[in-house]
Amino acid sequence: MLEIKKDFNLKNYNTFGITVFADFFVEIQSISDFLALFKNRIFQTKSHFILGGGSNLLLTQNVNALVIHNKIKGINIEKEDDNHVYIKSGAGEIWHDFVLYCVENQYAGIENMSLIPGTVGAAPIQNIGAYGVELKDTFWQLEAISLKDGEIKIFNRDECKFGYRESVFKNEEKGKYFITSVTFRMNKTPNLNISYGAISDTLKKYNIEKPSIKNISDAVIEIRKSKLPDPAKLGNSGSFFKNPEVENEIATKLKAQFPTLPVYNFTETTSKLAAGWLIEQCGWKGKIVGNTGSHKDQALVLVNYGNATGKEIWDLAIKIQKSVFEKFNVLIQPEVNVI
Ligand SMILES: Cc1cc2nc3c(=O)[nH]c(=O)nc-3n(C[C@H](O)[C@H](O)[C@H](O)COP(=O)(O)OP(=O)(O)OC[C@H]3O[C@@H](n4cnc5c(N)ncnc54)[C@H](O)[C@@H]3O)c2cc1C
């Protein structure tokens, strides 16, 4: 039986820990729950907002909509061949639990993305990534329900148009679908990615010469715990801004002017710059502004020191964006979804 709650406080449903109210709130545990909701008058008359773990959101105002909280669970092996296992996960599974399931069963490909907060269903939205690996590398397909007509649609990898922290669901299909499951094509033979210095350093620390999938996952968990503030203790949404992509010519000029600027080759014609470095150079790292600020160890992470409003954090983000633009003539864009 669906329970639609009114004037619902979202404080415990976003990792910034911001108090805002949703006009209506409902939890969905299955596709049949959703199809029942589809016929409901509130669904038909209000706008909708799909909520996973709330770890990539900045809520700057009350949500004048029906918030649909995705809790669809279940992990099933669909098929396998000599090299791959196709695993379908309910979109409401916790991403890190899914990673641990794969690690325990020796299914390789997502171990570098251990401990990223949030749900499996939100992972394709921004093509989550960490330590040299992105969701798209093991993504096979997803199933979604159209919020307009209730039709179920399968999106394959090409149709998702994945990019760096991008997909079709952040662009032309934004807010149009409720993702109900994601299927991954996991590798039976690991092709481990230890290209990031922090991972190889951690393995060296424990004298691990031939790492297993679990060794990589454990190393990533240790690194992330030491580097990133835990949202349960200090409200945050991870990296607030994306690393900006600029033309190689611009990157070369900036590098000549600022020799310590970290520049990564991205495509043949473009490079990525480290947004955290740009922010730090503008003096924001560790700066506290009212109830918010840039984290003392990670300039890219904006935090809620207790009673910040979403508007306060957004005002700070705009100031940071502006000062980076004034100093470097580079526009940094939010990675977080600002509502
Ligand atoms: C401490 C910390 C560290 C992080 N580190 C990383 C990192 O290393 N790499 C990385 O990529 N991200 C990182 N993030 C960001 C975040 O974890 C991911 O973006 C995650 O995928 C968000 O999942 P969620 O369930 O919390 O989504 P939410 O925040 O609930 O939603 C995000 C967006 O997806 C939409 N959405 C959610 N579920 C669905 C669905 N089922 N169907 C349709 N739309 C949906 C929402 O409407 C919203 O627009 C980090 C966040 C934190 C707090």
**Atom of ligand 1 at shortest distance to CA of 72?**
41
Ligand 1 lined by 17 (C-beta under 6 Å): no
Strands 63-70 and 48-51: parallel
Query: How far apart are the CA of 116 and the centre of ligand 1, in A?
Result: 9
Any idea which architecture 235-338 has in CATH? Answer: Alpha-Beta Complex (3.90)
How far is residue 220 CA from its own chain's centroid? 16
Ligand 1 lined by 122 (C-beta under 6 Å): yes
Question: Contact at 8 Å (CB) between 216 and 192?
Answer: yes
Ligand 1 lined by 110 (C-beta under 6 Å): no
Question: Contact at 8 Å (CB) between 305 and 292?
Answer: yes
Tokens of 31: 């596709």
Catalytic residues: 165, 239, 335
- Please compute the mean of the pLDDT values over residues 225-254 and round it to a whole number: 96
CA dist list (Å): 265 to 63, 244, 259, 270: 39, 12, 16, 7
At residue 329, what is the residue type?
N
- Please compute the mean of the pLDDT values over residues 103-117 and round it to a whole number: 98
HEC letters along 243-312: CCEEEHHHHHHHHHHCCCCCEEECCCCEEEECHHHHHHHCCCECCEECCEEECCCCCCEEEECCCCCHHH
Rounded to an integer, what distance in angstroms lies between the CA atom of residue 15 and that of residue 303?
A: 10
Rounded to an integer, what distance in angstroms lies between the CA atom of residue 175 and that of residue 172?
A: 9
Q: Give, as one character, the DSSP assignment of residue 326.
A: H
Ligand 1 lined by 237 (C-beta under 6 Å): yes
Query: How far apart are the CA of 62 and the centre of ligand 1, in A?
Result: 19
Residue matched to tokens 């911001």: 18
Instruction: Write the pLDDT tens digit of every residue in 283-325.
Output: 999 999 999 999 999 999 999 999 999 999 999 999 999 999 9
Query: How far apart are the CA of 306 and the centre of ligand 1, in A?
Result: 21
Ligand 1 lined by 37 (C-beta under 6 Å): no
Instruction: Write the pLDDT tens digit of every residue in 179-208.
Output: 999 999 999 999 899 988 899 999 999 999
Ligand 1 lined by 181 (C-beta under 6 Å): no
pLDDT averaged over the chain? Answer: 96
**Atom of ligand 1 at shortest distance to CA of 125?**
34
Read off φ and ψ for residue 257, nearest 5 degrees: -80, -35
**For ligand 1, atom 21: residue with the closest CA:** 123
Classify the C-alpha dihedral 174-176-180-184 as positive or negative: negative
Q: What is the CATH number assigned to the segment(s) 75-187?
A: 3.30.465.10
Q: Residue ranges per domain, the chain?
A: 5-70, 75-187, 235-338
CA dist list (Å): 205 to 161, 165, 199, 214: 39, 31, 10, 16
Give residue 173's pLDDT band: very low, low, confident or very high (50, 70, 90): very high
Classify 127 in phi/psi space as left (phi over 0), alpha (psi -120 to 50) or beta: left
Question: Contact at 8 Å (CB) between 310 and 18?
Answer: yes
Q: Domain 5-70 is in which class? A: alpha beta
Closest by CA to 107, choosing from 194, 190, 183, is: 190
Global pTM? Answer: 0.96
Classify 290 in phi/psi space as left (phi over 0), alpha (psi -120 to 50) or beta: left
From 37, 47, 48, 55, mutation site for ligand 1 pocket: most ligand atoms within 8 A of C-beta: 55
Rounded to an integer, what distance in angstroms lies between the CA atom of residue 51 and that of residue 102?
A: 24
Give residue 157's pLDDT band: very low, low, confident or very high (50, 70, 90): very high
Closest by CA to 235, choosing from 319, 126, 309, 338, is: 309
